[in-house]
Amino acid sequence: MTRVDFQRLTRIRLRDARALLRAGNNEGAYYLTGLAVECGLKSAIARKTRRHDFPPEPKIVSKQIYVHDLNTLLATAGLVQALEVAANADPALKANWALIKDWTYESRYSLSITGAEGLYRAATGRNGVLRWLRQHW
């Protein structure tokens, strides 16, 4: 997969999440919003690789790029310090990351999720995590 593929997946997953929110499916919207952020972080990682491709073999590179933990992916992308600087200058971004960073891939199994709309806004809003992340992917 390439950096552009992950960017496209980010947009697709956000579109899906928005449709699910409108339909009242909070569980699916929550999961897909977090997945969109994951894809955005993987695009930032791919930017640092040869020809912007996501490494195809876990044996060749750190397995840390194949996880679904947003904090680990942020660190693997080398963006922890950049986010800290931006978040210290923008309290809304800091609050948005604080909400998003706790998303887990396991949420796909949850039958009762609240806060999907808040997570979506934290990702896509004016001071959203994905708006900041686009500067780095």
Angle at which helix 91-100 crosses helix 80-89, to 10 degrees, equals 130
Q: What share of the chain is helix, strand, coil (3-state, %, to 5)?
A: 70, 0, 30
Quote the mean pLDDT of the chain: 89
Q: What is the reported pTM?
A: 0.87
pLDDT of 51 reads 59
Q: Which pLDDT tens digit goes with each residue over 65-91?
A: 667 799 999 999 999 999 999 999 999
Quick one: pLDDT at residue 95? 98
How far is Cα 124 from Cα 49, in angstroms, rounded to an integer?
26
Q: Is 115 left (phi over 0), alpha (psi -120 to 50) or beta?
A: left
Domain ranges of the chain: 3-133
Give the residues across from 2 on adjacent strands: 53
The structure tokens listed for 6 are: 């992950």
